[in-house]
Amino acid sequence: MRLAFIMMVMLFVNGLGHSYPDKAPPPFGRKGEVVPIDIKTVVIDYKFDYDQREAQASAKMVYDQEADGKPFFDLIPEVNKLMIDGIAVPVALFKSIRDPDGVATFRIIDKTLKAGTHEIILEYNIDSEVTFSSNAVRTGFFMSDLTSRRFFEQYGPTNMEYDQIQYRFNVEVEGVTKAHRIFTNGQVQATSDFTWTVKFPDYFTASSIYFHLSDESRYRIEEFEYEGLQATIPVTVYARSSYLASQGTTKTKKYMELLEDKFGPYAHEKLVVYVAGSGGMEYGGATMTSISALNHELTHFWFARGVMPANGNAGWVDEAIASWQDDGFRPGSQAPDRSAVNLGGFSPYRRYTTRAAYSQGEQLIRELDYVLRDNGGMIPLLRSFYEKYQRKTFLVEDFKAHLERETQVNMDGIFDRYVYGNANLEDRVEEEPTHPDQLDGHPRAYTKEELIFYR
């Protein structure tokens, strides 16, 4: 599969004379007419109407298209209005499509557009993602990385994770009198009691945004400043109980010091912790988590949302590192000598992490720690990887190249067998467990019912 992928990229880059966004999957279609794009900015107006029980969104997306073709990106809600470069077009042109490997669904504009910069406006509703109750509007743009199409595409137009996008939200709540608050990893400015603008960092990807709107009195909130190695970081910890908020504050301070000491200065502009019961999920400097999972999720501020996977093939790296942290960074004791496993040799269109990352992935990191013991083991190598790729996306090939460059050790054999899986071997470990509860000690994913409850 890897050879076919490389040949496909060479065909379209060299054979047709076009380049494509860095780290994007290749174009496809009979003549390569479905093309990846580079989204520059997305501005979304969200209007929440309590009386009408309606949540409307209007998104303006500006992007670069480097070749003629039909652009692909994603937005799950159906649109009720579509405009391209200022001209209204039929919403039927906004179609769902599968990639050529059949592993992912996303959207295309079913119209050939010329290479260049384009503006697309999409209007849609997200009523099902909002709770209207007790004079309050509650919504959480919560995500998961264990199944496909669970990133920001649930709430607004976005791309696959290779793309870094500047987002801005304009938020309005109508028909309520209770004070509301936005908990977010963006910079918030209140323009009235019930209107806000939120601007997110320009290095964010589809899995970075954290946005939680609710009535403020619903939560116990603790705010403080963390004196980091390079910056003073504003921190917000909130929960339904004072006890959980206090515990979250105490442990956040402790774990942040340990992680900065281990891997280097914190990468993000702020830090938000929502202590919400069992489970956990990370964002770009924000997390929804249990107390028991907090250290794991904070580790992802370095690996996952500080150094960011460009696709599902690279997602195993950060989960393996965080799982190694859960295991106390236990040193490796032997080189790998076991069945082959596929951690990152899937389709380039894959958009979620293999669950094998939490077991065989962590095992591989420990084994690499042993193999590279003469170079100090994996901790200094992970620290230098973080320094090089901080606020950037990476492919699994970038991770391999970094290890080789820093150690002068050839990784071909190890990666071929224990990352790419040597697909033709009979002793290869097959696909991961099917249920998140089967993950060895990893914070489980929140259920749909829990996510509604925790809005």
Q: What is the pLDDT of residue 52?
A: 97
Q: What is the pLDDT of residue 161?
A: 96
Point out which residues pair with 225 in neighbouring strands: 234
Report how far residue 326's alpha carbon sits from residue 65's, in angstroms, rounded to the nearest whole number: 42
Q: What is the pLDDT of residue 328?
A: 95
Q: Where are the CATH 2.60.40.1730 domain residues in the chain?
A: 28-217
* Fold of the 220-302 domain: Zincin-like (3.30.2010)
Q: Where are the CATH 3.30.2010.30 domain residues in the chain?
A: 220-302
- SS3 sequence of the chain: CHHHHHHHHHHHHHHCCCCCCCCCCCCECCCCCEEECEEEEEEEEEEEECCCCEEEEEEEEEEEECCCEEEEEECCCCEEEEEECCEEECHHHEEEEECCCCCCEEEEECCCECCEEEEEEEEEECHHHEEEECCEEEEECCCCCCCCCCCHHHCCCECCCCCCCEEEEEEEEECCCCCEEEEECCEEEEEECCEEEEECCCCCCCCCCCEEEEEHHHCEEEEEEEECCCCEEEEEEEECCHHHHHHHHHHHHHHHHHHHHHHCCCCCCCEEEEECCCCEEECCCEEEECCCCHHHHHHCCCECCCEEECCCCCHHHHHHHHHHHHCCCCCCCCCCCCCCEECCCCCCCCCCCCHHHHCHHHHHHHHHHHHCHHHCCHHHHHHHHHHHHCCEEECHHHHHHHHHHHHCCCCHHHHHHHCECCCCCCCCECCCCCCHHHCCCCCCCCCHHHHHHCC
Report how far residue 266's alpha carbon sits from residue 377's, in angstroms, rounded to the nearest whole number: 22
Report how far residue 28's alpha carbon sits from residue 411's, in angstroms, rounded to the nearest whole number: 31
The class of domain 307-438 in CATH terms is: mainly alpha
* The two three-digit tokens of residue 351, written as one number: 């958009």
Q: What is the pLDDT of residue 439?
A: 46
Low-confidence ranges of the chain (pLDDT < 70): 1-20, 423-442
- CA 416: distance to chain centroid? 26
Q: Where are the CATH 1.10.390 domain residues in the chain?
A: 307-438
- CA 345: distance to chain centroid? 19
* Fold of the 28-217 domain: Immunoglobulin-like (2.60.40)
Q: What is the pTM of this model?
A: 0.92
Asked whether 429 and 339 are in contact (CB, 8 A), the reply is yes
